[in-house]
Structure 1
Amino acid sequence: MQIITTHLNADFDALASCMAAKKLYPEAVVVLPGSMEKKVKLFFESFKPFEVKKLKEIDLDEVKTLIIVDTRSRQRIGEVAQLLKKPIKVHLYDHHPKGEDDIKADFEITEQIGALASLFTEIFRKKNITITPLEATLMCLGIYEETGYLLFPSTTERDVLAVAYLLKKGANLNIVSQFLKEELSRQEVSLLNELLNSLQEHLINGIRINIGHAVKEEPQDISHIAHKVMDIVDTDALFLLIEMEDKILIIGRSNTPQVDVGLILSEFGGGGHWAAGSATLKEQPVNLLIDELVKVIKQNIKPEKVARDLMTTPVISIQWDKPIKEVEKIMTKYGINAMPVIKDNKYIGIITRGVVEKAIFHGLKQSRVGDFATTDAYTAEEDTPIWEIEKNMVELNQRFVPILKDDEVVGVITRTDILRNLYEELIKKLKISQPAETEESKKNVAKLIKEFFSQEIYEILITAGKLAEEMGYGAYLVGGSVRDLLMRRPSPDIDIVVEGDGIAFANELAKKIDGKVTPHPRFATAKILKEIKKNGEIQSFHIDIATARTEYYESPASLPKVETSSIKKDLYRRDFTINALAVKLNLKDFGLLIDFFGGQRDIKEKKIKVLHNLSFVEDPTRAIRAIRFSEKLEFKISKHTENLIKLAVKMNIFEKLKGPRLYEEIILLLKETLPHQSIKRLADYGLLRVFHPSLDEKKLLSDLAKAYETVQGIEILFLREKYRKELIYLMVILWNLKENERHEFLQKICVPENIKKEVIENISLAEKALQNLPSEEFPAEIYKLLNNLNLETIILMMIYAKEQQKKAISLYLTKLKEIKPLLRGEDLKNLGIPPGPAYKKIFDEILKEKLHGSLLSKEEEIEFAKKFVK
């Protein structure tokens, strides 16, 4: 015999789940351990969806299987629990979190979802089980009641999809509305007022808990009263204690997973899930019960975030005996407005920019910083709850809080950190939905990582996260790969930043993934080469590992000075907001998206925006990068960023550029975008003249457009070989310049010497070849002229060739280029021809004949060789 049961005082979700279980176990008998809620009983008596028996009607010795739905608590199934002492099989279906008195089952399906009826609906769809409109209506009742019409925070996407499916199957929303309507009687209105007047708020670890108490003479379902109170009162969680005859009913509701109502009420013999629950106790003094309830709540509510989670580390600090003028210099260099003052590595106070500037104004720049430090400022420890820090910062009007450990500064929290945290909490609390494409509401992209990275890369990122935990580091996926991930684009770049020793981390990671490390100690970076076998071929890719760094520029356009820092400072040194994103890899927070500067918003709005106003002054090459990203991603450069580019040009910042950065950016621009459009953008900002004043914008843009069309046509029709199209476009830019101007241009953009030599030679060869190129009637001469030129040079010729010359080049690329003698030296040897200079002469003559359309087979070549030798 099989029995289906549920929890005491069955609600609609319990009743629907019993009905659903009955469809999965047709031979089973439904036995309720107690009564139903009033409106549930009314529905059951009105529609009789299935038969229910009492426990006393069952021969317990005949029971072989017990199917329990909508609870896993032994205490909540009443007298049915005695069956658990017998040697029977237990099947369990539930959506509540685990507890200490959980029933051990032989088979179970338990998932945290808004309503168990939703889980059964998914099972019906999967197994293709037919349901009637009445059954669909009961399932809908269960889902709507349990999720508060899909408005409770515990509601999931699966609940919504389940309702949609049930509506397709004929669920009647008129019936649902009729039985879930919550019109209050006069007695219920009186009870509501009594509860509202009795409410007392308790602030526990920054969470607002309201506890109310009332007396009700007649036992009755009052869960809907709790919903009314929650609608009226602005609170994070609510507990109502209702005295009824000889018992006390506790009803709990929560708006935040930090307050797990089911877990808290399980301490009183009740249960539920994090958003809702209840417990029934024997009569006792209410005041003592409230005290015990508050005590249990305190034990179960831990701060969601502590200082350690928000603080920036390492910290830039200043020795107490340094002069004020040095503090001002450091603050300007690192772009900070406050810093801790230390003495013998121990914290003694805070100095702010406002104090420093006033001291300098009063002629005190040589005074010791310790004399002007605020020594009574509020400080916190690593485990201090964020809500406590926030409260003190507001009350004390303090914008900067040092985090101490044994009197040493281990981190700092700023007003910006607190504001960002408050914003994220507001998003979470109000369930503000963001576009699914960016997953902003969840701030976690673990699913995207698994979906858009290869299995090999995904496993490496998991391994990196585990290693970071072992080494006590923070590890982050950063930069373009995160941007591309949010845009649903596969990315070839894997860049990991480590809050710790990046080279040590790279060495350990390489051991775990069987890769080869190339360290760069000067920059605290390393590159791992990893080879994998795929489709029978060996493929390789690189993983760049870097220590989290901050940087400052000693003068405009100079190379930056780099120092170890935090992930926040590391992201701040980057070019644009869309590239200043990170994803945490540590397993505890794997997939957590870090966005300090609004990169997600700018990706959504397709906008290129710098992080700060001196960005182009510090690194002018970012202007070219802005155009590259704008063209490549089809994003718009923000108006403010455009103004900053024009300002950098006006200030002649580009004149101070040194090193290969400019060349690298121009090559990437030509390689990754439509060259004529990108160069047009450079010209619009006045950047083209910066490279060389003799460049003719109109002629150049026309040539580049022609070059792009030529390259596209050749790729489609002729070429399978790889070539550097970016070098072709660079040569087009130089084509109309004089010899000395070409050298000046290449010198200006800091082209490496080997590339410079190659480009100049290629242009010269192309010019000469075009002067001597015969028509297509002379294939041997065409072959002889072009065969010793590289592809880039030949394609450059095609761009500037006349119509007849283009035909000759096309003939070479499509036919002549691939013509070779079929005969080999071994064949000539077999003909009795001794090895020597004659071989080359024979092969040259054979090639000449083949170029004219003769000698179509190897046999013909052999005969020709014999005659030629004679």
Structure 2
Amino acid sequence: MKLIVSHMNLDFDGLASLVAAHKLDPKAVVALPPSLGERVKQFLHLYTRSFEWFTYKQIDWNNVRAITYVDCSTDERAGIASFLSPNEIERSYIDHHQTEATGANITLLLQPIIQNGIKITPVEATLFGLGLYSDTNRLTNETVTIADLEAAAFLHVNGMNLKVIHEFLQAHVGEHPLFETLFNAVDIQTIAEKRIVFSTCIADQYIGDIAAVVEEIHSLYAPDATIVLCQLHHHTYMIARATSADVPIQIVAQQLGGNGHDYAASAICRNEPLAKAYATVHRMLTTCIQVKIPIRSIMHWPVLAFSATSTAAEVFRSSKDSSYKGFPVVNDNNQVIGMLTAAKLKKAIDLNGGIELVSSIMSKKVHTLKATDSIEQGKKMMVENVIGRIPICKNDGTLEGIITRSSIISSQFNHSAHYSASELTRYFGVKPFAFLQKIGELADERNVQVYIVGGIVRDLILNRPSKDIDIVVEGDAISFATTLATHFGGEVQQHNHFLTATWIFQNVSIDFVTARKEHYRKPGALPDVQPARINDDLARRDFAINAIAISLNASRFGDYLDPFQGRQQIQTKTISILHPLSFIEDPTRLFRALRFAKRLDFQLSNETKEQAKSMGNALKTISKQRVYHELELSQRESQLPWLFHALSEYPVWETLIGAEMSEYAYTHIQQLFRANVSESIFLAIAAIAYQRHSLTALHAFALTKLSKKLLADIQLIEQHQDEISLDDLHGYLYSVKRDALLFITTLPNKENELLLRYRKAREQLTPLVTGRDLIALGFKPSPHFSTWLLAIEKRQLRGEIKTKTDALAWISNKINKHER
């Protein structure tokens, strides 16, 4: 016999999971635990004929050979430990508490039901909906996933009755025997800046559905967490609800032998009276509640601040290009003494041209915080004082940064996910990972935020090897790298101009870069940079897949920031720019986008393609050296012919050389690369221009002596390719480079048999006589030497001279009149 079981005090998610598991395995037997939630009892009383189940006492446990556990994973939690026979039992588990892949357990079972096209009745859909909605707080918990939402849509299509769900979830908790007792016993405390509601009671008999009372109290007071402890006989039962994962009720429950998830958990404090259980739970919460994320993590700096002795007009001129709506006012010691809003500034300008001093129009009532204060404190201060920005100051009042409403909102919607130490060790290796930990520990000591950013994070997600470790520092990267060397040894190579440094320690090199933001004064120009926060640094990057950061600080080690949904882009194998003007600011990003697409087998998003096609003449503003640099990077990855073709989808070649690339040109480029020509980038560009008779545009791309020579040779071959003999051709083309001949003779749509023969003959032509040989014969050095040697080569091509002896004899016979 195969059983399907769930947990004691069965709730709707457990009941729904039992029924759904039976749909997937109809031969298995559903066994209900002896204790059911009150609302579950009511539901089963009404719909008793819609489902088939047995009680534990009705099961012949000696015949049980397999058990599937749903919404739980232990015999104790399922209440079957005392029933089990000594027979060997095969066990399987479907428990979202273990995987955290879904907000409700029923979702895990609905996924194969949907995939396999299994039909469900409206009553089953409604029960499954009760499980889904009750365990996710009506799909509002942070644990809700796309899979949960898809499950809700499936249930809706299959007849889920929302009215029935509302009736059962809207329990009449006011009538519960313990409601008044627990409500009157409410004690609100603050632990590690978290608002916790405690309530306790002692019961002389079992009373079901206390969870409904806990949920009602949690809803009424809206704290960070609600903890209810109820003593029954020798044991105390804990039922907990939380608003966010910051109060780890699941961890507390697990330490007590129970389980749950981030928002609902329960446990039994066995053989502990109420007072002792309360002290235990309180101590656990005190030690394991997560410290609030500090304001430093969202603070903007450097801050645009002004002196109290400046005039309104001076401030207006200095701030008109900024988007800020308010500015701190500081004294000579950079201590904050006021706040000036953009509205007051504009009013002063409109009234009298802004002649007043800032000190006369600023607000002297200033609310400040420290960088170590919590984001929650900042949020509370803004709401209570109806302000939109708060200066962040050091202990002596000097300005350190600023937060705004946007900072707070962004922090609420950009939750950090996490990479575990084992995941990072597996990727980096033990030794580099140990370095990263040391860096994070020192960063916390020095009150500095450090991150790994960009390509290495992308490659980590893709599980691709990455050679370099680049670390972004909020602050002075050079100073931080120097501090590392002082503490741990090694040497530091400083690059002051670029605000970067390299720490070399035990043969491991780690690059440190100062976090910065960029401003482009005009399209294609190199940007102006200034120090900034990590979010600004991510915003300046090229694509979402490269705009992900992982914190190295010991206090937040492994947390990642992904404000542009780069992980999602990686999962969908998509490359997207971060804003519409990205290609206008830096047109070479298109080259990089295509290079990444080829390397990673990704695709550019439709919006990114459209923005690339509409970049206009921005490409004309970048230097040819930068174009060459991007093409050389692709050449190193053996991508060049592909990249040239991929770029033809965009107005790149038309903008740069006035010619679109034809299929003939692409075929020509492929043949040139197969021939392994030198200056391959220049000749590939020349292949495009040649097809459209635009060789004059190539002068700007002839950046080396060799490329200039090749361009001149190609033009010379064009002039003389209609000669009628090999020696005539050689008379004109003897000095042209082999690759220039290859360029013309590999043209796919132009065949010149004589020129092709000449190229092959040239490749086999070996000079038989040199100037030294002529001097040895007694000739004095003369400009005639080159003429004679060329004449010999022509006769070699005709087959008249085959050896050095023949060549010297010809010279002696034909030039005996020349003075020796």
TM range (shorter): 0.5 to 0.7
Match of residue 293 from structure 2: 305
Q: Structure 2 matches for 1:239-254, cutoff 5 A? A: 239-245=227-233, 248-252=236-240, 254=242
Per the alignment, residue 470 of structure 1 pairs with 442
**Structure 1's 796 and 447: CA in aligned 2 closer, same or farther, altered over 3 A?**
farther
Matched, 1:135 2:82: no
Structure 1 pair 492–365 and aligned structure 2 pair: CA distance change class (3 A): farther
Q: Hey, what's the Cα distance between the residues in 1 that align with 2:58 and 2:791?
A: 103
Match of 2:744, as an amino acid? M
> Is it true that 1:442 corresponds to 2:417 in the alignment?
yes
Partners of 2:466 and 2:280 in 1: CA distance: 55
| Alignment deviations for residues 245-304 of structure 1 (CA, whole Å, 9 cap, x no partner) | 56643334556543334765799x876677534344789788x98799668645643434
The match for 1:107 is none
8 Å Cα contact 1:610/1:641 also seen in 2: no
TM-superposed CA distance for 1:408, in Å, is 2.0
TM-score by length of 2: 0.61
**Correspondent of 2:593 among 608, 611, 629:** 629
Of 692, 717, 733, the match for 1:769: 717
- After superposition, the C-alpha distances for 1:417-444 in whole angstroms (9 at most, x for unaligned) are 211222245xxxxxxxxxxxxxxx8365
Deviates more, 1:782-791 or 1:578-587: 782-791
TM-superposed deviation, 1:386: 1.9
Asked whether 1:733 is paired with 2:701, we answer: no
Tell me the alpha carbon deviations over residues 65-116 of structure 1, each in whole angstroms, 9 at most, x when there is no partner.
xxxxxxxxxxxxxxxxxxxxxxxxxxxxxxxxxxxxxxxxxxxxxxxx9965
User: How far apart are the structure 2 equivalents of 1:264 and 1:610?
Assistant: 41
Structure 2 CA distance for aligned equivalents of residues 447 and 283 of structure 1: 36
Structure-to-structure mapping, 1:261-410, within 5 angstroms = 261=249, 264=252, 276-280=265-269, 297=285, 300-333=288-321, 335-343=323-331, 344-406=333-395, 407-410=397-400
Structure 2 Cα separation of the partners of residues 38 and 801 of structure 1: 83
Instruction: Confirm or deny that 1:678 pairs with 2:647.
Output: yes
Separation in structure 2 between the aligned mates of residue 622 and residue 149 of structure 1, nearest angstrom: 42
Given the alignment, which residue of 548, 557, 566 partners 2:533? 566
C-alpha separation in 2, matches of 1:808 and 1:576: 48
Tell me the C-alpha RMSD between the 2 structures. Answer: 6.5
Quick one: distance in 1 between partners of 2:559 and 2:418?
Answer: 6
| Distance apart, 1:765 and its partner CA | 0.6
Name 1:546's counterpart in structure 2.
513
> Distance in 1 between the 2:36 and 2:409 partners?
46
Matched with 1:421 is: 411
Matched position secondary structure for 1:321: coil
Q: State the one-letter code of the partner of 1:789.
A: K
Partners of 1:219 and 1:306 in 2: CA distance: 44
User: Residues of 1 paired with 2:172 and 2:481: CA distance?
Assistant: 66
Tell me how far apart the structure 2 counterparts of residues 812 and 446 of structure 1 sit (CA, whole Å).
62
Residues 638 and 314 (structure 1), Cα distance of their counterparts in 2 relative to 1, 3 Å cut: same
CA distance in 1, matches of 2:644, 2:99: 57
495-504 vs 718-727, which moves further: 718-727
What residue number does 1:724 align with? 680
Amino acid of the structure 2 residue aligned with 1:728: A
Structure 1 residues 757 and 330, CA gap change in structure 2 (3 angstroms): farther
Aligned to 1:797: 744
Answer yes or no: is the 8 Å Cα contact 2:392–2:402 preserved in 1: yes
Distance in 2 separating the partners of 1:375 and 1:357: 18
- Unaligned stretches of 5+ residues in structure 2: 1-6, 11-32, 38-53, 64-69, 76-84, 117-123, 135-164, 598-602, 769-780, 810-820
Among 460, 482, 500, the alignment partner of 1:525 is: 500
Q: Which amino acid aligns with 1:499?
A: E
Cross-structure match for 2:204: 217
> Structure 2 vs 1, CA of residues 606 and 367 (structure 1 numbering), >3 Å: closer, same or farther?
farther
Whole-Å Cα distance in 1 between the matches of residues 505 and 100 of structure 2? 52
Equivalent residue of 1:419, what SS? Answer: helix
Where in structure 2 are the equivalents of 1:679-698 lying within 5 Å? 679=648, 681-682=650-651, 688=654
Deviations 1:800-831 (A, max 9, x none): 47644379659958x985x699x9xxxxxxxx
CA distance in 2, matches of 1:202, 1:735: 80
The residue type paired with residue 217 of structure 1 is D
How many residue pairs align between the two structures? 668
* Post-superposition CA distance 1:112-167 (Å, at most 9, x none): x996559xxxxxxxxxxxx999934x654xx55976998668x899x999x99xx9
Match of 1:16 in 2: none
CA displacement at 1:562 relative to structure 2: 2.8
Report what 2:708 is aligned to.
760
Structure 1-normalised TM-score?
Answer: 0.58
Q: 1:729: Cα distance to partner?
A: 0.9
Report the residue type matching 1:705 in the other structure. Answer: E
Whether contact under 8 Å (2:97, 2:260) holds in the other structure is no
Instruction: Say which SS state the counterpart of residue 310 (structure 2) adopts.
Output: coil
**Distance in 1 of aligned mates of 2:431 and 2:535:** 26
Distance verdict in 2 for CA 1:156–1:236, change over 3 Å: farther
Deviation at 1:667, TM superposition (A): 7.6
State the secondary structure of the residue aligned to 1:303. coil
CA distance in 2, matches of 1:520, 1:349: 38
Question: Structure 1 unaligned runs (5+)?
Answer: 1-8, 13-35, 52-112, 119-130, 168-173, 426-440, 533-540, 824-836, 854-860
Q: Is contact 1:728–1:796 with CA below 8 Å preserved after alignment?
A: no
CA contact (8 A) 2:229 2:238 kept: yes
Name the CA distance, whole Å, in 1 between partners of 2:302 and 2:462: 32
Counterpart amino acid of 2:713? L
Aligned with residue 701 of structure 1, among 650, 654, 660: 660
